[in-house]
Amino acid sequence: MKRAALYLRHSIADLNPETQPAELREFAMARGYEIVVEYVDHGVNGARVRRPALDRMLQDAAQDKFDALFVLSCDRLARDAKHFLHVVEDLNRLGMRFLSLQEGIDTDGPAGAAIVLVVSALNGLDKALKVERIRAGMRRAQLEGRRIGRAPLNVDHASLIRDRLAGMSLSAVARKYGLSRSSVVRFVQGDTAAQSPAR
């Protein structure tokens, strides 16, 4: 008998959480699977990559505790394409079948492999478009004369370095000049390096 695992994620907004497992059980059994384990994340945001039941499911998959994973819909497994693809590729690598009831996805056979490739391509396209949008925005900002990145700190470097070298504590210097402790260290180290003779 083929062994099925169900992954269920109940959000806080789910009015009838029992609907999900009932539909999935029927879906799996109609395909000749025996349900051996159910993984349930209650009230966990789907955008989170780490979830207790999801993590446990992936660990059990690596230990060959089931043959196929059934979900009600892909967004119950993962909200973004990158995470979804990562999970499905992990399952494929382990020889596990992935089935989603609502989208009709089944990774078994050539059609299933094609689905994974399409999702992967779309994920790559989405990344490329995001990068290009960021670059276009930066180019536009430069043409309009707007600053890109943080504004330079308006600090009296000489006074800061004198205070620090005179023995004022790192925290006191940071408070006085409105900086972080790490910024104070960078200023002092930069000045020390600049004054060091070249070898």
CB 42 within 8 A of CB 71: no
Q: CB burial class (10 A; 0-12, 13-18, 19+) of residue 100?
A: buried
In the residue annotation, 196 being an active-site residue is answered as no
Of 11, 73, 100, 159, catalytic:
11
CA distance 125 to 192: 47
Phi, psi of 12 (to 5 degrees): -65, -30
Which strands sit side by side in the sheet containing 105-106, from one edge to the other? 33-42, 2-10, 68-71, 97-100, 105-106
Q: Report the catalytic residues.
A: 11
